[in-house]
Amino acid sequence: METIQFEMQPAQTKAGEHIVSGEQITQALQLMSAAPKKPVMEAPEILYAEQCAGNQDLATDEAYLYVWNDSYWQLQTDNEAKRDALKWLQSNNRARATEQTAKSCYKTALLLTQQMPPKPDRIVVPAGKQWFVLDEFGWSVESPDRKVGITHGIRLNARPFPGYYTPAPVPPDSLFGRYLNTSLPDLAVRELVQEYIGYTLCNMNLQCAQLWIGNGSNGKSVMLNIARALHEKAVAMRLDKLDGFDLTSIVGASLAICDETPKAKINQQALKSLISQGYIDINPKYKAAFSYKPIAKWIICGNHMPAIDDYSDGWWRRFHIINWNVQVKGKDIIHGLDQKIIRDELHIVLDWALAGLSRLVERGDFQIPDSVEQAKQEAKADSNTVTSWIWSMGVVLDADAKTTKKALYESYCEHCEQKGFPACNEAQFFKRLNGEIPGIKNERIMVREGGKKHRAYCVNLAVGRFDDEPTPPQSDELEDDPFKV
């Protein structure tokens, strides 16, 4: 058989074309897999975040960075955090030193920085370079501990030595002592205010606030300014602006104050959440919304009670209402009294507050004086027409009473007409009535009205009983729905 032979001819190519041989492909692959001669620059965001992650003086709650300042974990504002990142870029990567890159560095650092340490299991008042710590043995002065998640601080113009500490009593001849005797002459009320001022300094949460009510020249503004001076971060808030962007300033604050009550209705639901220190949603400008758990205690001042439409016990039990009734006039007024006390006697105020906090912790809750409870009941009556009617008409529970619901509502409407109040509708009236007087029961019985008998809904309430204690409810149950109209 004839052998067929193939002659290898060089390929004919057009000008500019190249034939890649197997050897060339091998060389190209080797070059691609080899390490580059010049290392690729890592992203500045990850470098900055890794540096923050290795810094024991930084922590995060996932929304903000906190810096350990040798006393407590101090919150960094967005601008402060971005400024630090920009300074780092200025030193380490000037080509990327822009506001946008600084913001990206900060946001990335939030993801890698260590989490905030746990909250303390003791009462801690962080004051400068020392902590006042309260336990079963009393107060002691200790060194601050970065392993504890304290995020607020107070101001102190004196530095006690470490060890056990006994708060000194208020000198009677001090400016602060004379002020207390004049503006808060009722000792029980004074002690309640004292305990609350101490309460604002610590990590305790009893879910309550104080409302200080009274006309001018009565000393409440002096006490408010003194209390504010004790805190590293105290913020002024408006009761009618308590959502979204308006809540931005509450972040990191340990005291929230209102120096006046608005005439318009307030945001009661938001205020309840803030006082309870539950999670709230904050929507700052040019930043993603986030949830935050506030730590601020609340003191609200005003010449009158704020306008409200929530009459529930859940609202009223959150407040101590302090009436500042003593007015100082003429030569008895000391101009600039608050600033003089802050400048010269703030250590006296701190000891006074610590002593009040000791009593509060030992008792476990506030002890409410009769006058403060009376002020709350009067405020409830002023803001709630049903409460006002109950007080005016002497309405009480009585197991033997069978008063028609129609008669009760008519009596309420007459009361509102006489007082010039707007009356609520019948269903709302009985809903509020049940909230004010628990234990109301309902039955449908035969009654005589206008010489005729008919069946009507009656309740176990008596009217016109101003001095009698409510009688025990009867044992046999009435119908379950006391508000059926």
Pair of tokens at residue 448: 């005589």
Residues in CB range of 341: below 8 A, 6 or more apart:
175, 176, 179, 222, 226, 348, 349
Pair of tokens at residue 485: 């109209």
Alpha-helical (H) ranges within 231-345 are: 268-276, 313-316, 337-344
Closest CA to 308 of 274, 342, 271: 271
Are the CB atoms for 32 and 24 separated by under 8 Å? no
Compute the distance between CA of residue 308 and CA of residue 384 in angstroms, rounded to an integer. Answer: 9
pLDDT of residue 27: 58
Pair of tokens at residue 285: 């400008």
Domain range annotation of the chain: 44-112, 175-376, 384-462
Compute the distance between CA of residue 242 and CA of residue 254 in angstroms, rounded to an integer. Answer: 16
pLDDT in tens, the chain (485 residues): 444 443 434 444 444 444 445 565 555 445 444 544 444 468 999 999 999 999 999 999 988 999 999 999 999 988 999 999 999 999 999 999 999 999 999 999 999 999 999 999 999 999 988 999 999 999 999 999 999 999 999 987 667 778 999 999 999 999 999 999 999 999 999 999 999 999 999 999 999 999 999 887 789 999 999 999 999 999 999 998 898 888 999 999 999 999 888 877 788 889 999 999 989 988 887 777 888 899 999 999 988 888 777 767 778 889 999 999 988 888 888 899 999 999 999 999 999 999 999 999 999 999 999 999 999 888 877 777 888 899 889 999 999 999 999 999 999 999 988 877 788 899 989 988 998 899 999 999 888 877 788 899 999 999 988 765 444 433 333 333 332 32
Global pTM reads 0.76
Residues in CB range of 250: below 8 A, 6 or more apart:
235, 237, 256, 274, 282, 292, 294, 296
pLDDT of residue 244: 81
Q: Which amino acid is at 419?
A: K
CATH code given to domain 175-376: 3.40.50.300
298 alpha carbon, distance to own chain's centre:
7
**The domain over range 384-462 is classified in CATH as 1.10.10.10:** yes
pLDDT of residue 290: 83
Residues in CB range of 290: below 8 A, 6 or more apart:
63, 281, 282
pLDDT of residue 294: 94
In terms of C-beta density within 10 A (0-12 exposed, 13-18 middle, 19 or more buried), how is residue 363 classed? exposed
Closest CA to 133 of 361, 352, 327: 361
> Hey, which bits of 252-367 come out as E strands?
255-258, 280-282, 290-292, 297-302, 319-323
Pair of tokens at residue 106: 């900060």
Beta bridge pairs of residue 281: 291
pLDDT of residue 268: 87
Closest CA to 128 of 226, 253, 197, 231: 231
Compute the distance between CA of residue 167 and CA of residue 354 in angstroms, rounded to an integer. Answer: 7
